[in-house]
Amino acid sequence: MSYLFTSESVSEGHPDKVSDQISDALLDEFLAFDPNSKVAIETLVTTGQVVLAGEVKSKTYVDVQETARKVINQIGYTKAAYRFDGDSCGVLTAIHEQSDDINRGVDREDRMEQGAGDQGMMFGYACKDTEDYMPLPLELSHRILKELAVIRREEKEMTYLRPDSKSQVTIEYNDDNTPKRVEAIVVSTQHDEFDDDEPMLAKIKEDVINILMPRVIAQLPERVQALFGDAIKYHVNPTGKFVIGGPHGDTGLTGRKIIVDTYGGKGAHGGGAFSGKDPSKVDRSAAYASRHIAKNLVAAGVADEVLVQLAYAIGVAKPVGVYVNTYGTAKVKMDDGAIAREVENLFDLRPAAIEERLKLRNPIYRETAAYGHMGRTPKTVTKVFESPYWGKIEKEVELFTWEKLDYVIEIKKVFGL
């Protein structure tokens, strides 16, 4: 029997995502000038105020106030009417040095034997819903908000848009777990004040259906476009008004959107957030590694759907557990335990090896902090960083390396595919 599954996304202007982007921008600044930096920074944003707290061990100095303000302005919080803007908000800093008790378990004379920065379990997931091997409801939710942000910055249509927004997509699946149709779409977008609430609501709904959605649908492959019928239920700004938003409407915190960041509720999540953490924290690096494994397994044809769990003990290099679940979709004559053992042989899962394989000691994290860490397109870019102490540097870095299908051939050999 068919069933419904729903995922949500939030925009770069959502208060929690503002916090994530500030935390990751600060991380990038530290890594740009000192790749060995140990960083764990949390950000809180509220009306007219930013609070930065956490632990850092680094040879460089970062102007954290200037970095935070730059991020806020780039997102679009540039007007006093928003009650939160990059030029006038207060920035309070409470960052101190990383605990020696933690550091002694991480650093090793042989770098490849560095211990995990914390205990915990991390999950990676992949399925055949989309070309990116991501769950379709989440993929569509992200695309809706990305395009909404593009429209906002173009300032040609929907000129009333403000930075904060959320989306949600419900898909009906066949009983063989393939997408059947789009059931419902929810879009809540912050907007300028209108003279009259009722025409405002009607106008925003009309624009979402007739301007935003056609632009989103046009970007999709034909097989996904075919899922959009005339019976979709649209819920646009269901409360009727969304003028007060962003950090003025709701306090934001780093790490509160971990399901948006990953798989939209599909698969599983170990509970650890990503943003603001350097890759010695397996919360981040092992989550990327497990996604890399799951995606390559599905792309190689080992299974149609794969969940990978990696578990670590603080200060210990090798994982204490490697788990694979193919949900009964395996195409090889092996049980999931045997597949997990092959995975452990194929991939070096020590934290330092993950950092090296996925090139994680680079300033690549600001781009991950909105619209999902997984399912993104790997690419090489040149980034520029400036420091009052170290001058200006340019770095060529690879983004989203964990999305590369660089182990498919090797996996096919191992599994006889």
- Residue position matching structure tokens 């939030």: 10
Measure the CA–CA gap between 311 and 278, rounded to whole angstroms.
18
Measure the CA–CA gap between 247 and 243, rounded to whole angstroms.
12
86 token code pair: 């990059």
List, for residues 336-358, the tens digit of each pLDDT value: 999 999 999 999 999 999 999 99
Which pLDDT score, from 0 to 100, does residue 108 have? 52
Q: Report the C-alpha dihedral over residues 130, 136, 139, 144, rounded to 10 degrees.
A: 120
User: Which residues are annotated binding-site positions?
Assistant: 14, 16, 42, 55, 98, 164-166, 241-242, 250, 256-257, 273, 277, 281
Which pLDDT score, from 0 to 100, does residue 9 have? 98
Q: Which fold has domain 120-127+257-415?
A: GMP Synthetase; Chain A, domain 3 (3.30.300)
Domain 16-102 and domain 120-127+257-415 have a common topology: yes
Which pLDDT score, from 0 to 100, does residue 99 have? 56
User: Which residues are annotated binding-site positions for K(+)?
Assistant: 42
Q: Has residue 211 got a pLDDT over 60?
A: yes
Residues 6+ apart with CB under 8 A from 82: 162, 163, 246, 248
Q: Are the CB atoms for 45 and 251 separated by under 8 Å? A: yes
Which pLDDT score, from 0 to 100, does residue 278 have? 96
List, for residues 19-37, the tens digit of each pLDDT value: 999 999 999 999 999 999 9
User: Which residues are annotated binding-site positions for ATP?
Assistant: 14, 164-166, 241-242, 250, 256-257, 273, 277
Domain boundaries of the chain, sorted by first residue: 3-10+136-244, 16-102, 120-127+257-415
Q: Has residue 106 got a pLDDT over 80?
A: no
Element (H, E) at 195: none
Measure the CA–CA gap between 180 and 166, rounded to whole angstroms.
24
Measure the CA–CA gap between 359 and 176, rounded to whole angstroms.
37
Element (H, E) at 2: none
Measure the CA–CA gap between 231 and 186, rounded to whole angstroms.
14
Measure the CA–CA gap between 283 and 311, rounded to whole angstroms.
10
List, for residues 2-15, the tens digit of each pLDDT value: 999 999 999 999 99
- Residue position matching structure tokens 């520029």: 384
Nearest CA to 181 out of 136, 121, 238, 235 is that of: 136
Q: What is the mean pLDDT of the chain?
A: 93
Classify 323 as helix, strand or coil.
Answer: strand
Q: Has residue 163 got a pLDDT over 90?
A: yes
Residues forming a β-bridge with 43: 52
What's the pLDDT band for 1 if we cut at 50, 70, 90? confident
pLDDT above 90 covers what percent of the chain? 83
User: Which residues are annotated binding-site positions for Mg(2+)?
Assistant: 16
User: Which residues are annotated binding-site positions for L-methionine?
Assistant: 55, 98, 250, 281
Domain 3-10+136-244: state its class.
alpha beta
96 token code pair: 């101190």
What's the pLDDT band for 249 if we cut at 50, 70, 90? confident
Q: Are the CB atoms for 294 and 314 separated by under 8 Å? A: no
Element (H, E) at 47: none
Q: Which fold has domain 16-102?
A: GMP Synthetase; Chain A, domain 3 (3.30.300)
